[in-house]
């Protein structure tokens, strides 16, 4: 059994022990979920979004993925349920005042505290590091710890005051079971939306039909209206031809007039009377004072072209 050099091997050199199982530090794995984008694996930085399953992403990573879904990149199975930016919600996170981020460790010469979280719960101040359960609201995107939601029973968001319901709460980086229930809820919601869309579509066609008939009723009125406009004088000067009150009226009444007036009456009003339009915009039209000429400026032989009106 001896080797050529006359050495005598010891037992541990010949007998292999049981295989060492490589243990993944569970805490480190958990912490990573709260620090890195689930898609790009880059550090999370604002704007941060969350999906309906409660995973955290950098918004630009999601946009990049949505722009080109066919591109080969790792982790795409994580975002397979995201069809558009509507399927994610931008989070309204609360900064941890103790976290200084990259700034402090810019030289890389000091210890970076891995346990310090970037964000905290705005109500009870718990760190969002994975140790505590956090929820986000699908309505407004605000993020809270479970403790805050449990201690302060409310139906409006603690941070922005938007009303919400129990089903708007999505647990962030939840357990396997929690993700499964979220997935079920998501599928239910989507199938519901699909059927709702279908019924709405058939309704829409009905509505547009009735609108069509209403418009055809209106149409005969139109020629008489335009006639009265031409009767009232030159369309170019505009201000007198309008049934609208003169230039002295305030912008507000003009606006309400604009809102109430139909599509035909609206076009009758001169652009030069619109107070909300800029001078530069008005000068684009022939009715503007800069486009008008005095008698000696216009030559006699020029035919009167209709666009002077
Ligand atoms: Zn909110």
- What pLDDT, on the 0 to 100 scale, is given for residue 163? 92
| Greatest distance between any 2 Cα atoms in the chain | 125
* Residues whose CB is less than 8 angstroms from the CB of residue 118 and which lie 6 or more positions away in sequence, other chains included: 35, 44, 93, 95, 96, 99, 101, 128
More confident residue, 50 or 17: 50
CA 32 – CA 280 distance, rounded (Å): 56
Q: How would you classify the pairing of strands 48-51 and 88-90?
A: antiparallel
Q: Tell me, what's the pLDDT at 119?
A: 92
For the cut 80, the answer to whether the pLDDT of residue 171 exceeds it is yes
Q: Name the token pair of 305.
A: 């072209």
Give the Cα separation of 24 and 26 in Å (integer): 6
117 Cα–ligand 1 center, Å: 21
pLDDT, residue 106, reads 55
Gap from CA of 157 to ligand 1 centroid (Å)? 5
Res 84: pLDDT: 93
What lies within 8 Å, CB to CB, of 69 at 6+ separation is 76
Q: What is the band of 265 on the pLDDT scale with cuts at 50, 70, 90?
A: very low
Is the pLDDT higher at 307 or at 64? Answer: 64
3-state SS record for 193-213? HHHHHHHHHHHHHHHHHHHHH
Cα–Cα dist 263/240, whole Å:
20
Mean pLDDT score across all residues of the chain: 75
Question: Average of pLDDT values for 110-135?
Answer: 82
Residues, Cβ < 5 Å to ion ligand 1: 140, 142, 157, 159-160, 162
Please give the domain boundaries of the chain with CATH numbers for all domains. Answer: 26-102+111-173 (3.30.40)
- Find the 159 Cα to ligand 1 centroid distance in Å: 5
- 3-state helix, strand, coil split of the chain in percent (to 5) is 40, 10, 50
**Ligand 1 centre distance from Cα of residue 92 (Å):** 7
240 Cα–ligand 1 center, Å: 52
Predicted confidence (pLDDT) at residue 17 exceeds the cutoff of 70: yes
Q: How far is the CA of 277 from the centre of ligand 1 (A)?
A: 37
Which among 264, 262, 287, 263 is positioned nearest to 274, based on CA atoms? 287
| pLDDT at site 283 | 82
pLDDT band at 130 (very low <50, low <70, confident <90, very high): confident
**β 119-120/56-58 pair status:** unpaired
Q: Is the pLDDT of residue 154 over 90?
A: no
Q: 185-225, pLDDT tens digit by residue?
A: 999 999 998 898 888 767 666 555 555 544 444 444 444 44
Ligand 1 centroid vs 175 CA: distance in angstroms? 24
Average pLDDT over residues 124-129: 90
In the chain, % of residues over pLDDT 70: 65
What mean pLDDT is predicted for residues 68-77?
84
Tokens describing residue 292 = 């008008």
pLDDT tens for 18-72 read 777 766 677 777 788 899 999 999 999 989 999 999 999 999 999 999 998 888 8
Strands (E), the chain: 48-51, 56-58, 88-90, 94-95, 119-120, 134-137, 143-145, 169-171
What is residue 303's predicted lDDT score, i.e. its pLDDT?
A: 61
| pLDDT higher than 60, residue 122 | yes
Q: How much of the chain exceeds pLDDT 90, in percent?
A: 31
Task: For residue 102, report the distance from its CA to the centre of ligand 1, in Å.
Answer: 28
Burial of 135 (0-12, 13-18, 19+ CB in 10 A): buried
């Amino acid at each position: 059994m001896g080797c050529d050099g006359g050495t005598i091997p010891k037992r541990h050199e010949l007998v292999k022990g049981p295989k060492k199982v490589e243990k993944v530090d569970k805490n480190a794995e958990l912490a990573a979920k709260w620090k890195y984008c689930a898609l790009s694996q880059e550090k999370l930085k604002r704007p941060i979004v969350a999906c309906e399953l409660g995973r955290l992403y950098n918004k630009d990573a999601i946009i990049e993925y949505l722009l080109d879904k066919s591109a080969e990149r790792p982790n795409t199975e994580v975002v397979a349920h995201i069809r558009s930016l509507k399927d994610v919600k931008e989070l309204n996170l609360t900064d941890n005042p103790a976290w200084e981020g990259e700034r402090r460790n810019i030289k890389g010469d000091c210890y970076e505290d891995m346990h310090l979280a970037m964000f905290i719960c705005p109500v009870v101040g718990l760190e969002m590091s994975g140790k505590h359960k956090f929820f986000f609201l699908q309505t407004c995107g605000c993020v809270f710890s479970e403790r805050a939601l449990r201690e302060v029973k409310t139906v409006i968001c603690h941070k922005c005051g938007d009303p919400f319901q129990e089903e708007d709460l999505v647990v962030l980086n939840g357990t396997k079971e929690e993700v499964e229930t979220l997935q079920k809820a998501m599928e239910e919601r989507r199938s519901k939306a699909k059927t709702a869309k279908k019924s709405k579509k058939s309704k829409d066609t009905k509505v547009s039909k009735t609108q069509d008939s209403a418009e055809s009723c209106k149409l005969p009125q139109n020629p008489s209206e335009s006639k009265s406009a031409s009767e009232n004088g030159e369309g170019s000067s505009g201000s007198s031809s309008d049934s609208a009150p003169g230039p002295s009226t305030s912008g507000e009444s003009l606006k309400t007039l604009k809102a109430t007036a139909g599509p035909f009456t609206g076009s009758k009003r001169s652009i030069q009377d619109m107070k909300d339009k800029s001078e530069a915009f008005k000068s684009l039209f022939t009715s503007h004072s800069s486009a008008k000429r005095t008698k000696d400026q216009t030559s006699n032989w020029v035919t009167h072209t209709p666009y002077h009106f």
